[in-house]
Amino acid sequence: MDYRERDLRKEPELYRVGRGEQGVLLVQPYKAEILPHWRFATPDAARESSEKIYAMFLDYLAADDFVGADMARKFLQMGFTRSRRYANHKGGKKYDGPVPDDKKGQSGAHGRAELPRQPEDPVKAESARIFKAKWDEAEAHEEYAAMKKEWKAKYG
Is the model more confident about 64 or about 116? 64
pLDDT at 118: 67
Question: Which CA distances in Å does 144 have to 14, 63, 66, 92, 100?
Answer: 19, 12, 8, 31, 36
Q: Which of 148, 133, 154 is nearest to 65 (CA)?
A: 148
pLDDT at 19: 82
Cβ burial, residue 129 (10 Å; 0-12/13-18/19+) = middle
Mean pLDDT, all residues of the chain: 87
pTM, 2 dp: 0.84
pLDDT tier at 1 (50, 70, 90 boundaries)?
low
Q: Apex CA 85: angle with CA 72 and CA 102, to 5°?
A: 80
pLDDT tier at 9 (50, 70, 90 boundaries)?
very high
d(CA 71, CA 69): 5
Q: Is the pLDDT of residue 106 over 90?
A: no
pLDDT at 97: 64
pLDDT at 40: 94
Which residues fall within 8 angstroms of residue 58, CB to CB, at 6 or more apart?
none
Of the candidate ranges 52-56, 110-114, 129-133, the one whose mean pLDDT is the lowest:
110-114
Contact 99, 110 (CB under 8 A): yes
d(CA 151, CA 59): 18
pLDDT at 56: 98
